[in-house]
Chain A
Amino acid sequence: MKKYVLQDKLESSARRGFIKATSALSGALVIGFNLPAAGAKTVDAPMLTNAWVKVDSKGAVTLICHRSEMGQGVYTSMPMLVAEELDVPLSSVKIEMAPSAPVYINAMLGGQITGGSTSVRDAWTKLREAGASARTMLVGAAAETWKVPAAECTAANGVVMHKSGKKLSYGALVAKASTMKAPEKVALKDPKDWKIIGKNKPRLDTPSKVYGKAQFGIDVKKPGMLVASLAQAPVIGGKVVKVNDAKAKALKGVVSVVQIPDGVAVLAKDFYTAKKGRDLLEIEWDNGAGADLDNESIAAALRTASVNPGAIMRKDGSGVADMDKAASKVEAEYELPFLAHATLEPVNCTAEIINGECHVTGPIQFQQGAQYGVAAGINMPPEKVFIHTTFLGGGYGRKLELDFQIQAAQIAKAAGVPVKLLWSREDDMTHDFYRPLSLHQMTAGLDAAGNVTTFHSKLTSPSVTARAFPPVVQNGKDPFMAEGAENLTYKIPNIVVENVIHDTGIRVGYWRSVSNALNAFAVESFVDEIALATKKDPVALRMEMLKGDTRSQNVLKLATEKAGWGKAASGRALGVAQMECYGTHSAVVAEVSMTKEGPKVHKVTAVVDCGIVVHPDQAHAQIESGILLGFSSGMKNSITIKNGAVEQTNFHNYPMLRMSEVPLIDITFVSSSASPGGLGEVGVPLIMPAIANAVATLTGKRVHKLPLMGSFA
C-alpha cells in the first residue's frame, strides 16, 4: 500500500483547487442543488428534493445536514439556514446526515470537510438558496394550481397562501412541484423578515443527547458485528516483523486475529475481551527510523532548521531590509509543544462489507477523504464505498484523518465480518496526528519615538498540509501555517511573515484553530513585550497600531472596558490579546492572580464581532468552548517523545480541565450586519497570550514557552 493512500486522489483534487490555497476554486466548482445519482434513492411517492431538502406528499420535511456535528451546532445551524427560506418551522423537521457527494463540498476548503470554522460561512448563501429554491417551486405549484401569478402567493409554516385566502399545504403541492424545473435564481429574504436566523432555536440534537439516545460512532452496532482492538507499533509508522497470536487466540471469547498494514487486530464480541486478547499478542516490531527520536533531538533539529531562510508568507513595505537601521529592537522567542486532540470519544469506526459494497459508519469529519481512502485501502471502487456519519464525541481535527476508517475497513475485509474498531485512550493518545510544535522568532524594529516600524515573525514548525495535502504546499508555503501571523491586523509599515517547514519525524495534524493558536501566542505575547520596552500601555499600543480598523478597535475597547482595564484588584493583573481569524474579530482579557501552584485565572472577558450571528446562544457556547480548550491545553498539556514513542498515555499524564479549574467567563457579541464570520475555533488562540500577558504584568516573569504551568513547576 502507498504511504498515503489518498495522495493520487488529492493530487488530482488539488489541481482542481482542493483546498483554499488555490482560490481559483470558486470558478471551477459548480455547486448544484441536485444529489448525484449514486446518493439518490428511487421513491414511489412523489417527493420534492434537492441536496438539502426533501418534502414528501404528506408534507413531512427532511433537511440534510452536510457537516459533521461535533458539538459546534451544525446539526441545528445548517437546517436553520434552509428552514428560514423554505418557510417551515424548525421544530417539525427531521434531520438526516448527508452522504459523501460532490454537492456537499465545502467551497472554502475544497472537500467535504467540516473544519476551518467554515460551516456557516460556506453554507450562508448556498443553503438559504436551497431552501428558497424548494419554496419557490412549491409556491409556483400553488400558483399554477390556482391559475394566479406566483407573486400573489406567500409561504409560511409549510403552507402556501394566495392573497384571496386560498391555502394549500406543502404536502398537497409536492406532486406538482416535483415536476417543475428548479429556478435558476431565487430571491432571499430581507433580514428584517427572518423568523429563524438570529434566534435562539432549541438545538435539534439536545434531547437525544440527554436521553442517551444520540448515536456516536462508538455506539454503532451491526448484525453479526465484532469489536476489534488493534495493536499498532509503539513508534507511529512502525511495522510488524513477526507475530505470535497463540495466547490471544486461546483466550476465551477471542473470535479471530487479523493482520493489516498498521498492525494486528484481535476480534471479539466485546471490547474488553478484544483488548485483553490484543494485550496477549507477542509482536516483534520494526519501529523504523523514528525510533531514535526524543525531545532533545527534536528540539535541536528544529532550532537548526530555524537558521534556514523560510518562505515569505507576507511582505509589507520594505520587509526587514531596514531592520538594522531601527533606533532600537525588541526580540523574543516562543516555543509551543506538540499537543494531542484527545477527543473524549476515542477514535473508532465501523465497517461492513456486503454485496460488494463497503459501508463505513463513524465519527467522520472528511467524508470524501473517507470514501476515497477506504476505497484505496481495500481495493474497491470509490463508488462502492458509502460513508455514514454519526455524531462525533469531539473532533478538533482528529477525525479529519483517515487512518481509523481505513483500518476498520481493512479489518472487516480480512475478518469477513462487520467490525467496529475501537481504540483505547492509550491508542488514541499515542497514535494521534499531533498539533505541531513550534519555534517563533520575533523581531520588532522601533523608531526613535518608539513606534514599531518593522515587524518580523519567523515560525519554524512541521507543516500539517505538507503531510496531508502535499500538492498544496508549493515553494515551501503552507498557507495554513501562516494563519495567525499573515492575518496580522496591526498597521506596521514593514512586515515579514516567514515560515520554515521542518518535518520533525512526528506526524502532525490540524488541531482546532490550527496555526492561529500558535502564531497568536507569539504575536500577542510579543506585542506586550514591545509595550513594556516602549513603556506603553498594552491596550494603548494596540489601539494605536489598529488605527483605522474600527472592528478590531471596537472589540478591544469593549473587552478592556468590560474587564475593568487599569482597575485590577490588589494581587491581580489583567492581560489582553486581540486578533482577527476566520473572518471574526475578537479580544480577550484574562484576570490572573498568583498562588503557590502558579498562576490562577479568575475571569475571562471576551468580545467578539463575527458579523451576523445565526444562533446567539450557540455562538456564545462556541466561544466559551474555544476559550476553555485553549486554556486546558495551554496551561498543562504537552506531548513528549522518548525512543520515538509518545510518552503520554491517558488523562493522568495529559490532564483535562475540570469544573473546579474553570474561570468565570463573560462573552459579548457585537451587533453587526456583516456576513457571518467563523466561530468554532475563534475562542482558542487568544486565551493563552492574554494569560501570559497578565502573568508578566503581575510577576515580571515573561512566559516564552507553553504549557504555561511548566514555567512555574
Chain B
Amino acid sequence: MLKLNVNGKPANFDGDPDTPILWVLRDHLDVTSPKFGCGMALCGACTVHLDGAPIRSCSVPVSAAAGRKITTIEGLPAKVGKALQDAWIAEEVPQCGYCQTGQMMSAAALIAKNSNPSEADIIGAMDGNVCRCGTYHRIQKAIVRAGKSVAGAKA
C-alpha cells in the first residue's frame, strides 16, 4: 500500500506501483484535471507538481511519489493558483481547454520562482506544453499578468 499526499490530503493506492501518477489520480482518486495526451512526456497535458516541481505525470510511476507531495490545479497555493486562474480568465486563454490545466501547472512552477519572467524564461518553462488550439500568445500574456499579480501581492 502506497501512502500518497494529493493536494494536502492523504490518499492510498494499493495497485501496481509502476502505475503512472496520472492514472492513479484520474482513475483511482477521481482527480481528472491532469489530462492524458501522449503517454510519453511529449505534450505536457498531464503536468502536476511533485514537491513543487512540474513533472509529466503520465511518465512517472506512482512509487516515486511515496512520501512526497502531489499537487494539481485544485491544490495550488492560493496566491499563485488564484493569480493564474484570474489571469487565464482575464486573457480568455482557453479554447478547447484540454491542455490548459497542464499549461497552468507549468506556469505555476515558473512564477513561483520568478514573478517577472522574460519571454525566454516563459518559453523555456512552457515549451514542453502543447496547445493544439494555438493559444500560445494568450498563455504568454496570462503568465506575465499572473506574475505581476503575484509580485504585487508580495509587495
Chain A interfacial positions (CB closer than 8 Å to B): 69-73, 202-203, 205-207, 209-216, 218-219, 221, 227, 252-253, 269-273, 342-346, 391-395, 422, 424-426, 617-618, 621, 624-625, 627-629, 632, 650-652, 656-660, 662, 665
Question: How far, in angstroms, from A252 to B39 measured CA to CA in the complex?
Answer: 21
B51 contacts partner chain A, Cβ-Cβ < 8 Å:
no
Could you write out 14 A-B pairs with CB less than 8 Å apart?
A: A210-B73, A210-B89, A211-B85, A212-B33, A218-B35, A272-B23, A345-B35, A346-B37, A394-B98, A425-B39, A627-B134, A632-B134, A651-B130, A662-B137
- Given the known interface contacts A210-B100, A212-B101, the answer about A425 and B89 at a Cβ–Cβ threshold of 8 Å is no
Interface of B is mostly: loop
Q: Are A344 and B43 in contact (CB under 8 A)?
A: yes
**A628 cross-chain contacts in B, Cβ below 8 A:** 133-134, 136
Nearest neighbor of B94 in chain A, beta-carbon distance: A209
The A-B contact count (CB < 8 A) is: 180
Q: Are B97 and A202 in contact (CB under 8 A)?
A: no
Question: How far, in angstroms, from A559 to B80 measured CA to CA in the complex?
Answer: 40
**A273 cross-chain contacts in B, Cβ below 8 A:** 15-16, 19
CB distance from B109 to the nearest CB of A (A): 15
Q: Are B132 and A344 in contact (CB under 8 A)?
A: yes
Which one, B33, B42, B97, contacts A650 given CB within 8 A?
B42
Question: How far, in angstroms, from A205 to B96 measured CA to CA in the complex?
Answer: 9
**A227 cross-chain contacts in B, Cβ below 8 A:** 27
**B27 cross-chain contacts in A, Cβ below 8 A:** 227, 269-272
Question: How far, in angstroms, from A632 to B138 measured CA to CA in the complex?
Answer: 17
Nearest neighbor of A217 in chain B, beta-carbon distance: B98
**B129 cross-chain contacts in A, Cβ below 8 A:** 659
Q: Are A212 and B38 in contact (CB under 8 A)?
A: no
**B73 cross-chain contacts in A, Cβ below 8 A:** 210-212
**B139 cross-chain contacts in A, Cβ below 8 A:** 659
Interface of A is mostly: loop
Question: How far, in angstroms, from A493 to B43 measured CA to CA in the complex?
Answer: 50
Q: Are B94 and A210 in contact (CB under 8 A)?
A: yes
Q: Are A253 and B42 in contact (CB under 8 A)?
A: no
Which one, B42, B101, B137, contacts A652 given CB within 8 A?
B42
Q: Are B16 and A207 in contact (CB under 8 A)?
A: no
Nearest neighbor of B73 in chain A, beta-carbon distance: A212
Question: How far, in angstroms, from A342 to B42 measured CA to CA in the complex?
Answer: 13
B45 contacts partner chain A, Cβ-Cβ < 8 Å:
yes
- Given the known interface contacts A71-B133, A212-B73, A665-B137, the answer about A393 and B40 at a Cβ–Cβ threshold of 8 Å is no
Which one, B40, B94, B137, contacts A205 given CB within 8 A?
B94
CB distance from B134 to the nearest CB of A (A): 3
**B130 cross-chain contacts in A, Cβ below 8 A:** 344, 651, 656-658
- Which of A73, A211, A269, A392 gathers most chain B CB within 10 Å? A211
Q: Are B88 and A625 in contact (CB under 8 A)?
A: no
Q: Are A212 and B134 in contact (CB under 8 A)?
A: no
Question: How far, in angstroms, from A206 to B91 measured CA to CA in the complex?
Answer: 10
Q: Are A221 and B30 in contact (CB under 8 A)?
A: yes
**B99 cross-chain contacts in A, Cβ below 8 A:** 344, 393
Q: Are B23 and A425 in contact (CB under 8 A)?
A: no
B147 contacts partner chain A, Cβ-Cβ < 8 Å:
no
- Given the known interface contacts A216-B98, A221-B30, A270-B27, the answer about A659 and B35 at a Cβ–Cβ threshold of 8 Å is no
Question: How far, in angstroms, from A71 to B43 measured CA to CA in the complex?
Answer: 18
Question: How far, in angstroms, from A424 to B40 measured CA to CA in the complex?
Answer: 11
**B126 cross-chain contacts in A, Cβ below 8 A:** 659
Q: Restricting to B106-155, which residues have a CB under 8 Å from any CB of A? A: 122-123, 126-140
- Given the known interface contacts A211-B73, A344-B45, A656-B132, the answer about A72 and B95 at a Cβ–Cβ threshold of 8 Å is yes
Q: Are B36 and A422 in contact (CB under 8 A)?
A: yes
Q: Are A210 and B16 in contact (CB under 8 A)?
A: no
CB distance from A526 to the nearest CB of B (A): 27
- Given the known interface contacts A652-B42, A659-B123, the answer about A345 and B98 at a Cβ–Cβ threshold of 8 Å is yes
Beyond A344-B45, A659-B139, 11 additional pairs, beta carbon < 8 A: A209-B97, A269-B15, A270-B19, A273-B19, A393-B99, A425-B39, A621-B135, A621-B138, A632-B132, A659-B123, A665-B137
**B135 cross-chain contacts in A, Cβ below 8 A:** 621, 625
Question: How far, in angstroms, from A656 to B43 measured CA to CA in the complex?
Answer: 8
